[in-house]
Structure formats: C-alpha cells, structure tokens
Amino acid sequence: MSEFKCEKCDREFASKEALDMHNNSKHFHEIKKPLSSKINLGDKRKTRNWIIIILGILIVIGIAYVLAFKENPNDGKYDVFAQCLSEKNTTMYGAWWCGHCKEQKKAFGKSFQYIDYIECSTPDGNAQLQICKDAKIDGYPTWEFADGTRRDGFVPLADLARISNCSLG
C-alpha cells in the first residue's frame, strides 16, 4: 500500500511530488490552499520591500514635481506696480551674484520683468560694466529714482511705493 493517495479519486502514487503533480493537473479547481502556503515568508518580505521602495520613489518624484512647478504667490501680483516704477523712470542697478539683488527680484516674482534693470557685473563677476561706473554705482542693489535720488541695498516694496508714488496694489 502506498503512502501517497489522492483524497479525491483514491489513486495511489509513489511520491509526494507525483501526488502534488496529479492534484495540480486533475483537481486544481478543488484545491484551496491558503495564501500563506503559496508564498513563503521570504517572498512576502521581498514584495513588501519592493512596495516600500516604489512608494518612496513615487513620493520623491511627487514632491520634486510640486516644488518644480509650484506657483510663487508673488507671480504676476505686482505687474502694475512694476510697470508704474518703470513709467516713473525708476531703475535698479544690480549684479547677478548679489544676494540682496536676488532677494529684491524674488520680492517682485515674475513682475520683475517690468522693472528697468541694469546689470553691472561682468559675466565672470570680477569687474563692473562701464554703464555702472559712469553712473557711479558702488553697491548693489541701487535704486535710482527720476529725481536722481538713490537707495542702496534691499528696499522693501512698500518703501519703493512710497518713494515713487506708485500704488503697491
């Protein structure tokens, strides 16, 4: 008598492998193995790890996308104000490497495109352009107003509005 007998059709087999093959081919629709017997613990860990890795990558991509395409709240907010400054012959002298100039540009957001801006630095950052030498610019940023007065350094937008009589918005 064989140790390996099919419980469904009473057929006998010489090995467990033969019985398993028989059950898988003849009685596969009747076999209800629990999920834990189909996937061993190592496979579950690998699957979990891959899911965590993929979710992590998706989160990083999502954050990068949001940061890259996030609208600046100042974008376009000061268009009319910046245009008024230009109409009133207000000019900003600055340098591409200047931290305060970058802050001043950031305060305007996209509206900075309407500001009369003169770049004073050479591309290598080692010298001042002649236009700024002639204007006797010695610090950045320098705001020059129509009446010839100047303000050096970062100037808050409210101060620019007051000095120029342009409405901030």
pLDDT at residue 40, as a whole number: 62
Q: Per-residue pLDDT for 1 more than 70?
A: no
Average pLDDT across the chain, whole number: 88
Identify whether the C-beta of residue 83 lies closer than 8 Å to the C-beta of residue 114. Answer: yes
Q: What gap in Å lies between CA 30 and CA 35, rounded to an integer?
A: 15
**Strands of the chain, DSSP E:** 4-5, 12-13, 91-94, 116-119, 142-144, 150-152
Q: Per-residue pLDDT for 39 more than 80?
A: no
Q: What gap in Å lies between CA 88 and CA 108, rounded to an integer?
A: 17
DSSP 88: T
Is 79-164 a CATH 3.40.50.20 domain? no
Specify the pTM.
Answer: 0.57
pLDDT digits (tens, 9 = 90+) for 69-127: 776 655 688 999 999 999 999 999 999 999 999 999 999 999 999 999 999 999 999 99
pLDDT at residue 9, as a whole number: 87
Lowest mean pLDDT among 19-28, 67-76, 80-89, 155-164: 67-76
Token pair, residue 129, equals 């352009």
